[in-house]
Structures are given as structure tokens and as C-alpha cells.
């Protein structure tokens, strides 16, 4: 295993957690846990139970069978190992998984209501179908994990599942992708709840969600625009 890469991944998760804390998108306890797949292996790094004040050494090294190879996890953190490993086993394209109790998106989870694409930030992730709800089961239990996998199979291209009566599970190809998904879910849920006070939140039509994601991808591929550099984007 590439030690330098592992250290980099530890730092990626620590910085990702800091970003969520600083953005104020966590619940008051800052509860959450985060994992990252070590590319090309069946190993992951997984954090403890708070995303606040996390240190690189807080991440334990585990196999996808749940065996701890290096470091350690508290009893409460050990409960959620399978909540993370199930996602990697189900989706080979996922490189990072984060769980939070972000209040607005968790409100949808408590209402057991799928989160539809009400806002631009979620459209940019390509989420035209609603973010599914996995019905409640005690965290990390067989029932809970089975419900998560079933929800993922019902929405195979979505990078998130709402955990009924609990919180959210967001994922992506890497730590940055998983972090962005938390931001997208939380902002969309907050806006939808606020919008319901002044009217009825409206969803973005699916073809426009596709257009929003394509536009983001095209601009990212074209790179930054600099003074005097012009742009030859077809737009």
C-alpha cells in the first residue's frame, strides 16, 4: 500500500470534515462519520463519531469485510462500519462515503419523504430522480443495511440515500464528491422547506437537470477563464 497516498486520503477526510463544520451544515453535536476507499484495494479508512476536531490518526484502516487492520474505532463507531462498507460493495464507482445528521436534509429523512431536485445545486450533480429514503432500522443493523442497499438499487445512479428517521448518507467518486453531495442535499432541502413557507417548491424538469450537469462538466473541462485569454466555448 502506498503510505503517502494513505496519508493524503487521511488529510482529505480531515479537511472535508472541517469544511462541513465551517459551513454549518451539521447538527449541533457535529455527529457524523466519513470513509474513503484506498484506490485499487478492498480497504477503507473510516472516522469516529464526530466530524468536529478530527485528526488524521482518528481514521482506522479496515477491510470491506469490516476487519480493523490498523488503528481503532469506539464501540459506537463500530456500529456503523457496515453502513459504509455496504455502499462500497454495492457501487464500485464510489470512492468516499459520509454520514451526517444535517438538519434540513434529515428533516426529509424524518418525514420519510424523498428529496426531489428543487434547486440548481442538486441539479449540477445530475440528480434528476428523487433522493430515495431507506426505511428506518437501528444504525448499522442488518435491517438498516438491507434497506440502504434496496434504496440504492432503486436509484442506481444517485449518490445519496436518506436514512429514514435518522440522517443522510452521501457518496461520490472521492472525498470532494461526497462533501459536495452533502452541500447539495442540505442546501436543496433548506430551500425547499423555506419555499414551502412562501409557496410550493417546484422541481426542475429532468431534461433541465441533464442540461445543468452537462454544462457544469463542460465548463470544468474547459478550465478557468483568464484575462486576455478569451474563451472558445460553444455556448
Shortest approach of Zn ion to residue 139 CB, angstroms? 6
- Cα three-residue angle 159-162-163, rounded to 5 degrees: 125
> Which residues lie across from 45 on neighbouring strands?
36, 61
C-alpha torsion sign, points 162, 158, 116, 195: positive
Shortest approach of Zn ion to residue 221 CB, angstroms? 36
Closest CA to 84 of 114, 43, 28, 131: 43
Shortest approach of Zn ion to residue 182 CB, angstroms? 13
> Which residues lie across from 131 on neighbouring strands?
115
C-alpha torsion sign, points 223, 123, 47, 45: negative
Please identify, using beta-carbon distances, which residue of 77 and 180 lies nearer to Zn ion.
77
Count the site residues for Zn ion by CB under 5 A.
1
Task: Give residue for cell 469544511.
Answer: 19
Shortest approach of Zn ion to residue 174 CB, angstroms? 22
Closest residue to Zn ion: CB criterion:
167
Please identify, using beta-carbon distances, which residue of 167 and 177 lies nearer to Zn ion.
167
Please identify, using beta-carbon distances, which residue of 178 and 204 lies nearer to Zn ion.
178
Which residues from 143-172 bind Zn ion, rule CB under 5 A? 167
Please identify, using beta-carbon distances, which residue of 32 and 126 lies nearer to Zn ion.
32
| Cα gap 191→161, rounded to integer Å | 19
140 binds Zn ion (CB under 5 A): no
Site for Zn ion, rule CB under 5 A:
167
Amino acid at each position: 500500500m502506498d503510505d503517502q497516498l494513505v496519508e493524503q486520503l487521511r488529510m482529505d477526510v480531515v479537511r472535508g470534515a472541517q469544511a462541513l463544520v465551517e459551513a454549518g451544515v451539521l447538527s449541533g453535536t457535529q455527529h457524523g462519520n466519513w470513509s474513503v476507499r484506498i484506490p485499487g484495494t478492498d480497504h477503507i479508512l473510516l472516522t469516529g463519531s464526530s466530524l468536529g476536531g478530527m485528526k488524521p490518526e482518528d481514521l482506522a484502516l479496515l477491510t470491506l469485510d469490516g476487519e480493523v487492520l490498523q488503528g481503532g474505532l469506539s464501540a459506537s463507531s463500530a456500529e456503523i462500519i457496515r453502513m459504509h462498507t455496504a455502499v462500497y460493495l454495492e457501487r464500485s464507482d464510489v470512492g468516499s462515503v459520509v454520514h451526517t445528521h444535517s438538519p434540513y436534509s434529515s428533516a426529509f429523512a424524518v418525514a420519510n419523504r424523498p428529496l426531489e431536485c428543487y434547486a440548481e445545486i442538486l441539479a449540477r450533480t445530475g440528480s434528476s430522480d428523487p433522493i430515495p429514503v431507506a426505511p428506518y432500522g437501528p444504525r448499522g443493523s442488518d435491517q438498516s443495511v438491507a434497506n440502504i442497499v434496496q434504496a440504492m438499487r432503486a436509484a442506481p445512479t444517485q449518490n445519496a440515500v436518506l436514512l429514514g428517521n435518522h440522517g443522510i448518507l452521501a457518496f461520490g467518486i472521492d472525498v470532494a464528491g461526497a462533501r459536495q453531495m452533502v452541500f447539495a442535499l442540505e442546501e436543496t432541502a433548506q430551500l425547499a422547506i423555506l419555499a414551502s413557507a412562501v409557496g410550493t417548491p417546484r422541481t426542475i424538469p429532468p431534461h433541465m437537470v441533464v442540461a445543468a450537469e452537462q454544462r457544469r462538466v463542460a465548463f470544468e473541462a474547459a478550465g478557468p477563464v483568464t484575462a486576455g485569454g478569451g474563451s472558445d466555448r460553444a455556448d
